[in-house]
Amino acid sequence: QARYALRANLLPVWVALMLWAWWRAIRDLHGAEPAAEPPAEPTAAAAPTGFGRARAVARRWRDSSLAWAALAGLFVGLAVHTHLTGRALPAVLAASALWVLVRERRPRVLARLALALLVALLVAWPQIAYFRAQPEMLSYRADQVSVLNPEVNGGDLPGTLLDNGWQLLKMPVVEGDSSWYHNIKRRPVFDDLPSKLAFLLGLLVFAGLLFGRAGRPAQSAAVLLAAALGVTLAPSWLSVGAPNYVRLTGIWPTLFLIPALGLDRAAGWLEARADPRRDLVRHAPLALLILAPAWLLVGSARAYFDDYAGRPEVYDAFNAAAVERGQALAALPAGPLYVTPALWNQSVIRFLNLQRPPRGVFDPRQGMVFPHNYRVPDPEGKLVELRALARYAFDPVERDAAEAFAERWPIAERADLGGRAGRPSADATNLISFTLYGNQIEAILAQLTELDPPIQFGPNLRLERLRTSSEPLQPGQSLDLALAWYALAPTALDHNFFLRLVSQADGSTLAQFDGPPLGGSYPTTVWNTGERILMPLQLEVAAGAPAGPASLVHGWYDWRDGQRLPIA
């Protein structure tokens, strides 16, 4: 399950450590009460010093049931931070303590339970405090998948619970999870013959322990394990799509103990019948305990590193295409790079481009961003200012947006970057990129009229170019415009802008735009110094607009309080 790269992978560690620590905390409560002995009077010669004292303290700590109870609580608290199942683990300790209280009549177990729960509460407190502040988040994920939700159970809660229970009964040796993301589809937990036989034999051994066939301490241990099995099974039983191996992550420590019990019993049976005079028979128990896990290891390696890893379904389930796209993006030549939000919002692609992130992320359907100029030395050593080339990258799923980009900017050089040979995806394109060179960028900007002088808003933004029409408009028609701003520096707050067509006769607004630049995909807080931002607009003139001349009014403002940027 490590392939998930989720913190839930740690849950089996905390569950196993919790069970171990809690058993160390309560195992002295089984059987007859030890006779009390008067404490021996310490003598000066017997008093430990130095390392001896440290060893004595460590020994007392090791033998202290309260210390082990506190450790069990620590592991419960860590499990709470790891997965939703961790919230239910206190029930395991409570069920075990109740059994000891009733069966062994040792009320001292309640003090150990209280200490464990107190430590768990303290460790989990940051999450508790968060949910107190955000109560709607407490059951946010659970409500989406819970069979108690009528939208999930389809109005048939008993039937859903019965079906989930049946699927979970089949999970160990018959049929497992149906998701390729979680495992080999339908593969049971114990898939080959040795593990199936070991599990079935282990079930019989486990049942014998529960019924007290091996004594009361072993019975209490079996009750503890049974409680852990039930509690860690519940998240899948009470949610949609059982068995779900991710929601069952906490069950693995106890579930895998069952075939271990079976192998141990089989080895003991062989050992009891071994003839010490015959070498092969004498070593049969050891051979079983070595060969059976080796068989399982080889079978699992073949299943997961060969069959599972090479399947197209797994490639799609884990979105391996995102890895290839991230690698293709990282392999683009150095230079100003702009990508679409759909591409950059994929965490895998971000991770693979941490060393060289793009210059900007914006929606090209809303407009364009051109990088700043840069200076290079000419053959005589003088610095010459050149317009930087720019690359624009699209996810292949945005093919329609890429086609629209190519149609709007036909001078851009297009490249469809393919994937590695033999990839199972039907579409071999990893990335669609466009390149605009300095002279091409200048040609695009030259289509707009340069304002002389340009209009500067506040200390950061400057309107440099404008394209509009001087043709007369009729009411109901649209005025096509384009504005090109120059970023002197990014702003501290993201600003909106407005553009209004105002009647010169009575000052009424005939048409207007009011909102963020580039549809909000590239706020002014991320504009890089020297960038040109080009945004086309359409202003639809009101149907009842009066005849006469009109003016364009443009401004920038803080959308939080309406405060406008002053014109310098």
Of all helices (H) and strands (E), which one includes residue 558? none
Q: Which long-range contacts (CB under 8 A, 24 or more apart) does 399-406 make?
A: 399/432, 401/340, 401/364, 401/365, 402/432, 402/434, 404/365, 405/364, 405/365, 405/434, 406/434
DSSP-assigned letter for residue 307: I
- Per residue in 194-206, pLDDT (tens digit) is 899 999 999 999 9
Instruction: Give the pLDDT of residue 31.
Output: 67
Instruction: Give the pLDDT of residue 20.
Output: 97
Average pLDDT over the chain reads: 88
- Which residues, in sequence order, are bridge partners of residue 400? none
**Closest to 112 in 3D by CA, of 98, 127, 126:** 98
Distance CA(124)–CA(73), nearest Å, equals: 10
% of the chain beyond a pLDDT of 90: 61
Q: Is pLDDT of 56 > 60?
A: yes
**Closest to 27 in 3D by CA, of 260, 205, 224, 262:** 224
- Per residue in 210-240, pLDDT (tens digit) is 999 999 999 999 999 999 999 999 999 999 8
Lowest mean pLDDT among 175-184, 322-331, 380-389: 380-389
Task: Give me the residue label for tokens 């030395």.
Answer: 377
Query: For the residues of 23-53, what is the DSSP string, one character each?
Result: HHHHGGGSSSPPPP-PPPPP-TTTS--THHH
Q: Is pLDDT of 44 > 60?
A: no
Which amino acid, residue 242?
A: A
- Which residues, in sequence order, are bridge partners of residue 567? 457
Residue 476 CB partners (closer than 8 Å, separation 6+): 540, 541, 542, 543
pLDDT winner (highest mean) among 115-119, 324-328, 473-477, 506-510: 115-119
Compute and round to an integer the Cα radius of gyration of the chain. Answer: 35
Cβ–Cβ < 8 Å for 406, 412: yes
Instruction: Give the pLDDT of residue 143.
Output: 83
310 is written with which tokens?
A: 């090479």
Instruction: Give the pLDDT of residue 424.
Output: 42
| Beta strands 390-394; 337-339: pairing state | parallel
- Per residue in 438-489, pLDDT (tens digit) is 888 888 999 999 999 999 999 999 999 999 987 888 888 899 999 999 999 9
426 band by pLDDT with thresholds 50, 70 and 90: very low
Kindly provide the residue ranges of all beta strands, DSSP E only, lying in 437-516, ordered along the sequence: 449-457, 461-467, 478-487, 496-503, 509-515
Q: Is pLDDT of 427 > 60?
A: no
CA distances 511 to 221, 308, 412, 537, 554, Å, are 78, 60, 33, 12, 12
Decide which of 392 and 140 is more confident: 392
- Please state the rounded mean pLDDT for residues 520-531: 94
Within a 13 Å sphere around the CA of 225, how many CA atoms are in the beta-carbon half?
Answer: 20
- Per residue in 115-165, pLDDT (tens digit) is 999 999 999 999 999 999 999 888 888 888 888 888 888 888 999 999 999
Task: Give me the residue label for tokens 């979680």.
Answer: 182
**Closest to 359 in 3D by CA, of 383, 384, 329:** 329
Q: Is pLDDT of 425 > 70?
A: no
Which amino acid, residue 261?
A: L
Q: Omega of the bond prior to 453 within 30 degrees of 0, cis?
A: yes
- Per residue in 237-283, pLDDT (tens digit) is 999 889 999 999 999 999 999 999 999 999 888 888 777 666 566 77
**Closest to 420 in 3D by CA, of 325, 316, 312, 309:** 325
- Per residue in 276-316, pLDDT (tens digit) is 666 566 778 888 888 888 988 998 899 999 889 888 888 88
